Amino acid sequence: MKQNQYLFLLFALIVLTGCGGTQKKLTEYVNPFLGTATLWEPEDLGYTRKIKSRTWGAETYPGATLPNAMVQLSPVTQFRSGAGYQYEDTVIYGFSHTAKGHWNLLHVPMLPVVGTIAPGNYCSGFSHEKESAHPGITKFIWNAIK
């Protein structure tokens, strides 16, 4: 009987000491920029392109969102892309509040500006050096509209 008690205590001690370690948050392993770049290289595509045309890729966006959320704030860098954002772009047209930046789906991007702008020049340059994204937050610092 005492042997069973000792075995139970030993088992409980092993279990409890294993539970006390600090764990990393799973969000530290998330890279919101995965899937935002177009695939160009044959090694990445799995085939050799015959003509110079847009290939598969860039169908996700790095914007801050929650699962099944109504608001999905994300930068719009290109309207022809399925996601509205492509990593290789260097200009930003605005921020879409409902995810994908398609004009045909009536997603209207917004870009805060100060001063007057020309109708044909409503984009702003940005650098990936001043861009960051983590689960729940996306940061951009862009150049002034000229």
Domain ranges of the chain: 29-142
Give the burial string for 97-124 (b: 16+ CB within 10 Å, else e).
ebbbbbeeeebebebeeeeeeeeeeebb
Running DSSP on this structure, what letter comes out for residue 89?
Answer: -
pLDDT digits (tens, 9 = 90+) for 104-142: 565 677 877 777 777 777 788 888 888 888 887 888 777
pTM: 0.63
pLDDT of 5? 80
Cα pseudo-dihedral 48, 51, 52, 53, rounded to 10: -100
pLDDT band of 18, cuts 50, 70, 90: low
Using a 10 angstrom Cβ sphere, with 0-12 exposed, 13-18 middle and 19 or more buried, the burial of residue 1 is: exposed
Question: Each residue of 38-96: pLDDT tens digit?
Answer: 777 777 777 777 776 666 666 777 877 777 777 777 888 876 666 777 888 888 888 87
CATH number for the segment(s) 29-142: 2.70.98.10
